[in-house]
Amino acid sequence: MPLKIGKPLLAALIATGTLLGCATGEASKDIVFSADSKKAIVVLGWEGLDQYGGTSLRLQFRGTSMLGPFDDRYFSLANGKGLIERQPTEYFVAEVDPGYYVVDSVDVRWSQEVIVRMCKGTIKFFLAPGKVTYIGNFASTFGGAAVKSAKPQPQAAAAKLAEFPHITQPMTVATVSNVPYPKREDCKI
């Protein structure tokens, strides 16, 4: 029997494909990046990952304007494809579109996925094209419903960046702001 795809299912598949197409993940170790790149490199540390007992964890970031409304830019960084032992702090390196971003959510997967939106507060940062930017170390608070800056560890971030031999730009440190989460329907806390 052939599978019939109705309009609602087709719309859901297109939306899923669009969101997944925007997601980035960690950069490949053989990435070549220079000052004339139209993209940006983000480096960050996430603390407390060893407290999540799920099979995987994903940090999601949304593009925003300087004043706050979301735009269509999006990237995510994930850790784990099964039960793994996480370090207390893990570092991520990703190539993304430049601009302002906020931490949107932390997704933890156990037997099902649990998405925690940063409704009680988040961080905002700017990534410039052709630049490698360390945005700092962060930790979840309020049971995961907010994110806050933690003590910066630029040496550890630089050690992670050294794993990418073809990223030749020097790492700069961003100014990060703790901000209220942009207004949205699924944040009624």
Domain membership flag for residue 189: no
Whether 47 is in a domain gets the answer yes
Residue 188 lies in a domain: no
Is the residue at 185 inside a domain? no
Residue 15 within any structural domain of the chain:
no
Secondary structure class of 44 (helix, strand, coil): strand
The rounded Cα 25 to chain-centroid distance in angstroms is 8
Tell me what pLDDT residue 50 has: 61
Q: Is residue 17 part of a domain?
A: no
Q: What is the DSSP letter of 85?
A: P
Over the stretch 9-49, which tens digit does the pLDDT of each residue have? 333 333 333 333 344 578 889 999 999 999 999 998 887 66
Considering the domain boundaries, does residue 4 fall inside one?
Answer: no
Which residues span the domain enclosing 80?
Answer: 24-179
Q: Which residue, chain included where needed, has tokens 């070549």? A: 32
Q: pLDDT at position 135, please?
A: 92
Considering only CA atoms, which of 108, 135, 109 is closest in space to residue 122? 135
Residue 113 lies in a domain: yes
Residue reference for tokens 């170390």: 137
Is-contact 157 172, C-beta < 8 A? no
* pLDDT, tens digit (0-9, with 9 covering 90-100), for 69-123: 788 898 888 766 544 455 677 888 999 999 999 888 777 666 556 666 667 667 8
Q: How many structural domains are present in the chain?
A: 1
